Amino acid sequence: MPVTHHILSVLVENKPAVLTRVTSLFSRRGFNIFSLAVSPTDDEDFSRMTIVVDAESAPLEQVTRQLDKLINVVEITELSAGAAVERELMLATVRADASNRGQVTELAGIFEAKILDVGADALTLMAAGSPDKLDSIEELLRPFGITGLQRTGRIALPRIPRGTVRLAAVPESA
Amino acid sequence: MTGAQALIKSLEMEGTEVMFGLPGGAILPVYDPLLESTIRHILVRHEQGAGHMAEGYAHATGRPGVAMVTSGPAATNIVTPLCDAMLDSIPLVVVTGQVPLSAIGTDAFQECDTTGITMPVTKHNWLIQSAADIPMVIREAFHVATTGRPGPVLVDVPKDISNQTMDWYWPEAVDLPGFRPPQAPDPRLAREAARLILAAERPVIYAGGGILKARAAEALRRLAELTGIHVVTTLMARGAFPDDHPLALGMPGMHGNYTAVTAMQQSDLLIALGSRFDDRVTGKVPAFAPHAKIIHVDIDPAELGKVRRADVGIAADCRSAIEAITAAVEAELAETATVPFDRSDWKATLAGWQAAHPLAYDQEEDGPLKPQFCIEQLRDNTPDDTIVVSGVGQHQMWTSQYWKFNHPYTFVNSGGLGTMGFAVPAAIGAKVGKPDRMVWAIDGDGCFQMTAQELVTASAERVPIKVAILNNAYLGMVRQWQELFYKERYSEVYLSPDLPDYVKWAEAMGCVGLRCENPEDVAATIEKANSIDDRPVVVDFRVDYREKVYPMVAAGTSNDDIILGPAEGEGGH
């Protein structure tokens, strides 16, 4: 991820139009969103947005302070790269016929990607991982011909603080 | 009880005494229980008028202004006042009707996405989903509008919700986990501010509209007098510090006086209190007050560092912050026996600028009537606590420059959005809120034509405001820019002095209409207008179209390059 990006984890009330309120704010203040993921939390009254902000469009402090003024925004945490666990999901449809299907499945194997769909001359695979890892897979698949691609944008949570027992700090393979 | 009854009752519970509005299809159910309500309703002629009246009411009283209109075009007509209130931090609660919930999204008659359209111009808005939510939402709406940095809110009420029945309740408190405006200042920061103040050689207090919102005029005066620091008052703060005070420097900015502008430029410490470094004040930002350290107090944390980095930034209510800084200065003086910096040189410099470059214009005895002369005559022939309301343009700047504002809440105008047509309805709202005070709208002929029909409202509701039209037959400020920056190529700025005939128009709207064309008649005309208190008065002052607003800092240039008027002395920087 380029260093000019910041990851904000934003806890919002689960109210109508809250996503619009957030994106409308970004648009009218001239802040750029690089990626955005929204999902419910364990508490049905709240949702969590993971927003990757282009830091060159505005100082991060302005972004968070303006965001904090929205009534439905409850809490904003900046997740710095070292202090957060982040993942992203990717679906990619790649040209692969009998002659090179083996190469693609081999790559999929290396990256622990799953094959979701197979046709005579294409297959769709799913990969999850850090955004960097997905960038690498995308790069390696491109020569085969990518005909469809969808990435979710990253989701992230802060790392469990020191002093708390961390049951497992599982390194990401590949 | 129905949702409509609950809505009116909730407004009453919030202390609403008056609301401005106009009924229509989707809001019809709510207008019915209004007949039994204690709330006075002012029936406007256009929904924009309702919004500006509510703003004028809020400006003058400090209480939230309430407006109620129907759906669709009524809602879109009130968008301008919402945006105006957003930029000038005016507490406003606007209730709009909406098509029934089941019809939303079907392009029904008079349907529009009101909450979507008004989202960027409100602090928050609500689309009510159930009649049971009404008391809580109204409670939240008033809380949000008036707490922290004040601002407008909107509650959209679908027609079927108004007709739904519910069990009345009144919530004890609001539950808004994401709304926690700052309150008390950090005492450590107040001490840091006090130290900067005591060490400064050329300090200036840069007082903004936040002083008035926080009811902090008295606190400001104490701080200024304790420290002997001069005060500039922005367009939104006129009246927050008395113009007749020896420490008053008047208005800074694009049309600020030479001393106010230059004092800020050369200052080594700007104490920004409830002001937001607006581009009309700073001019070219990188060249603004280049040697000044900054103390910045604002209740909105997002204002700190938005335009200019603060050396001490205090996110807090202005009054409590000023009181904390004042106490810290007193403590610092007592504890350390610090002698405040000797600022006699700086004071002499300021006095020298004031003497060399006063605001000035030239009213020849037989010459054309000057707009500034009309304003000075109005100032000198009305009570000291007269509420002055202006529109937007040259007349607004002259009013701010030449009136002497010695009391808070005596100047009402549209600063941030610059909404032409603001004056007439806002003056009506101010007069409704402060019926015992004289209210003069000082308007331009261009502005007047935008919302003049609300004088029908004023006549019908017996709200005897007075309107001085400084009629120069032009969109004067635009003309001034075309003269100065577009090589005198006048494009679409001529309006005509007598089309419309303002006197006849005033009379047709139930007002008294007067005309004044000569300097020697001005005082008598004002006296006549002041003597009429049973209906609105409109005075058509025919003024010199060539007159320009000076001083002026051209847009995008440095405040060091201030341009003085022909009568204001030689040489800027």
Per-position b or e across B487-502, b if 16+ CB within 10 A of its CB: eeeeeebebebeebeb
Look at residue A59 in the predicted model and tell me its pLDDT.
86
CB nearest A70 (choices: B115, B129, B178):
B178
B413 and B544 inside one domain: yes
| Tokens representing residue B36 in the block | 């039994």
Interchain pair A65, B302: CB under 8 A: yes
B302 and B376 inside one domain: no
A67 and A105 inside one domain: no
Calculate the alpha carbon distances from B277 to B321, B476, B558 in Å. 18, 26, 14
Query: Is residue B231 a contact partner of residue B255, using CB atoms and an 8 Å limit?
Result: no
**Largest Cα–Cα distance in chain B?**
73
Is A60 a domain residue?
Answer: yes
A75 and A13 inside one domain: yes
A85: pLDDT strictly greater than 90: no
A120 and A141 inside one domain: yes
A10 and A72 inside one domain: yes
Is A168 a domain residue?
Answer: no
Residue A24: list chain B partners with CB under 8 A.
119-120
User: Residue A141 is part of a domain; what is its CATH number?
Assistant: 3.30.70.1150
Is B516 a domain residue?
Answer: yes
Which residue bears the tokens 């509510």? B54
Map residue A27 onto helix, strand or coil: helix
A97 and A151 inside one domain: yes
Query: Is residue A138 a contact partner of residue A108, using CB atoms and an 8 Å limit?
Result: no
> Exposed, middle or buried by CB within 10 Å (0-12, 13-18, 19+), for B28?
middle
B216 and B285 inside one domain: yes
Distance CA B192, CA B509 (A): 58
Catalytic residue among B13, B17, B110, B192: B110
CB nearest B302 (choices: A66, A72, A73):
A66
B525-544 per-position pLDDT tens digit: 999 999 999 999 999 999 99
Interchain pair A62, B305: CB under 8 A: yes
Map residue A172 onto helix, strand or coil: coil
Percent of chain A with pLDDT over 90: 68
Look at residue A159 in the predicted model and tell me its pLDDT.
87
Residue B109 is among the residues annotated as catalytic for this protein? yes
Question: How many pairs of residues across A and B have Cβ atoms under 8 Å apart?
Answer: 42
Look at residue B518 in the predicted model and tell me its pLDDT.
96
**What is the DSSP code string of B272-283?**
EES----HHHHS
Look at residue A2 in the predicted model and tell me its pLDDT.
52
Spatial CA neighbour of B513 closest among B476, B477, B471: B471
A66 and A29 inside one domain: yes
Residue B147: list chain A partners with CB under 8 A.
none
Domain that holds residue A151: 85-156
Is B181 a domain residue?
Answer: no
For residue B464, the Cα-to-chain-centroid distance in whole angstroms is 21
Look at residue A16 in the predicted model and tell me its pLDDT.
87
Tell me which of B52-61, B180-189, B467-476 is least confident.
B180-189
B334 and B392 inside one domain: no
Is A91 a domain residue?
Answer: yes
Distance CA A19, CA A24 (A): 8
Calculate the alpha carbon distances from B15 to B59, B90, B168 in Å. 17, 17, 17
Query: Is residue B422 a contact partner of residue B399, using CB atoms and an 8 Å limit?
Result: no
DSSP 8-class letter at B520: G
B156-198 per-position pLDDT tens digit: 999 999 999 999 999 999 999 999 998 899 999 999 999 999 9
CB nearest A71 (choices: B127, B144, B301):
B144
Is A151 a domain residue?
Answer: yes
Q: Which of residues 131-160 of A touch B (CB under 8 A)?
A: none
**Mean pLDDT score across all residues of chain B:** 96
Distance CA A114, CA A127 (A): 6
Best mutation target among B119, B136, B176 (most A Cβ atoms within 10 Å) is B119
Q: What is the mean pLDDT of residues B46-55?
A: 98
Q: What is the mean pLDDT of residues B37-48?
A: 98
A46 and A104 inside one domain: no
Interchain pair A17, B116: CB under 8 A: yes
A52 and A92 inside one domain: no
**What is the DSSP code string of B489-506?**
---S-B--SSSS-HHHHH
A147: pLDDT strictly greater than 90: yes
Closest A-chain CA to B125: A71
Look at residue A80 in the predicted model and tell me its pLDDT.
82
Distance CA B230, CA B215 (A): 20
Catalytic residue among B477, B482, B548, B552: B477
- Please give, rounded to a whole number of angstroms, the shortest distance from the CA of B479 to a CA of chain A: 31
CB nearest B127 (choices: A16, A69, A70):
A16
Tell me whether A65 touches chain B (CB under 8 Å).
yes
Residue A21: list chain B partners with CB under 8 A.
119
Domain boundary (A53, A79, A105) is at A79
Query: Is residue B10 a contact partner of residue B39, using CB atoms and an 8 Å limit?
Result: no
User: Residue B297 is part of a domain; what is its CATH number?
Assistant: 3.40.50.1220
Q: How confident is the model at residue B571 (pLDDT cuts 50, 70, 90)?
A: very low
Is A165 a domain residue?
Answer: no
Domain that holds residue B226: 187-356
Is B126 a domain residue?
Answer: yes
Distance CA B426, CA B51 (A): 9
Look at residue A174 in the predicted model and tell me its pLDDT.
40
Query: Is residue B322 a contact partner of residue B219, using CB atoms and an 8 Å limit?
Result: yes
B126 and B208 inside one domain: no
Say whether the peptide bond before residue B500 is cis (omega within 30 degrees of 0): yes
B399 and B304 inside one domain: no
| Tokens representing residue B144 in the block | 């949000």
Mode of pairing for the β-strands spanning A73-79 and A5-13: antiparallel
Distance CA B488, CA B468 (A): 28
Residue B477 is among the residues annotated as catalytic for this protein? yes
Q: What is the mean pLDDT of residues B475-480?
A: 98
Domain boundary (A60, A79, A98) is at A79
B274 and B418 inside one domain: no
Map residue A103 onto helix, strand or coil: helix
Domain boundary (A79, A106, A139) is at A79
Is A32 a domain residue?
Answer: yes
Is B566 a domain residue?
Answer: no
A117 and A52 inside one domain: no
B263-316 per-position pLDDT tens digit: 999 999 999 999 999 999 999 999 999 999 999 999 999 999 999 999 999 999
Q: Give the contacts of A91 (CB within 8 A, at least 6 positions apart).
A: A116, A124, A125, A126, A148, A149, A150, A151
Distance CA B148, CA B420 (A): 28
Number of domains in chain A: 2
CB nearest B179 (choices: A59, A66, A71):
A71
Q: Give the contacts of B7 (CB within 8 A, at least 6 positions apart).
A: B30, B95, B134, B138, B157, B162
B572: pLDDT strictly greater than 80: no
Percent of chain B with pLDDT over 90: 96
Q: Give the contacts of A23 (CB within 8 A, at least 6 positions apart).
A: A33, A36
B102-119 per-position pLDDT tens digit: 999 999 999 999 999 999
A169: pLDDT strictly greater than 80: no
B413 and B332 inside one domain: no
Domain boundary (B163, B195, B229) is at B163
Interchain pair B178, A74: CB under 8 A: yes
Domain boundary (B325, B356, B387) is at B356
For B54, the enclosing helix (H) or strand (E) is helix B47-61
Look at residue A63 in the predicted model and tell me its pLDDT.
93
Q: Give the contacts of A172 (CB within 8 A, at least 6 positions apart).
A: A129, A130, A133
Is B168 a domain residue?
Answer: no
B158 and B22 inside one domain: yes
Distance CA B88, CA B243 (A): 22
Number of domains in chain B: 3
Is B55 a domain residue?
Answer: yes
User: Residue B74 is part of a domain; what is its CATH number?
Assistant: 3.40.50.970
Percent of chain B with pLDDT over 70: 98
Residue A66: list chain B partners with CB under 8 A.
302
A8-45 per-position pLDDT tens digit: 999 999 998 999 999 999 999 999 998 899 988 889 99
Look at residue A167 in the predicted model and tell me its pLDDT.
54
Interchain pair B116, A20: CB under 8 A: yes
Tell me whether A62 touches chain B (CB under 8 Å).
yes
Interchain pair A68, B124: CB under 8 A: no
B230 and B327 inside one domain: yes
Q: How confident is the model at residue B573 (pLDDT cuts 50, 70, 90)?
A: very low
Which residues partner with B98 through β-bridges? B158
Distance CA B512, CA B531 (A): 11
Interchain pair B177, A28: CB under 8 A: no
A5: pLDDT strictly greater than 90: no
Spatial CA neighbour of B425 closest among B16, B40, B59, B17: B59
ipTM of the complex: 0.91
**What is the DSSP code string of B87-149?**
HHT--EEEEEEE--GGGTTTT-TT---HHHHHGGGSSEEEE---GGGHHHHHHHHHHHHHSSS
Is A166 a domain residue?
Answer: no
B220 and B268 inside one domain: yes
Catalytic residue among B5, B14, B20, B47: B47
B545-562 per-position pLDDT tens digit: 999 999 999 999 999 999
Is B366 a domain residue?
Answer: no
pTM, two decimal places: 0.94
Phi then psi for residue B550, to 5 deg, are -135, 155
* Crossing angle (nearest 10°) for helices B47-61 and B423-433: 50
User: Residue A57 is part of a domain; what is its CATH number?
Assistant: 3.30.70.260
Which residue bears the tokens 């129907």? B70
Residue A69: list chain B partners with CB under 8 A.
123, 300, 302
**What is the DSSP code string of B192-214?**
HHHHHHHH-SSEEEEE-HHHHHT
A168: pLDDT strictly greater than 80: no
Which residue bears the tokens 């969109």? B475
B135 and B196 inside one domain: no
Phi then psi for residue B127, to 5 deg, are -110, 110
Residue B141: list chain A partners with CB under 8 A.
none
Domain boundary (B147, B163, B179) is at B163
**What is the DSSP code string of B410-443?**
-EE---SS--TT-HHHHHHHHHHH-TTS-EEEEE
> Exposed, middle or buried by CB within 10 Å (0-12, 13-18, 19+), for B165?
exposed
Is A167 a domain residue?
Answer: no
CB nearest B301 (choices: A21, A65, A71):
A65
Please, what is the Cα angle at B229 between B228 and B235, to 5 degrees?
Answer: 135
Is B564 a domain residue?
Answer: no
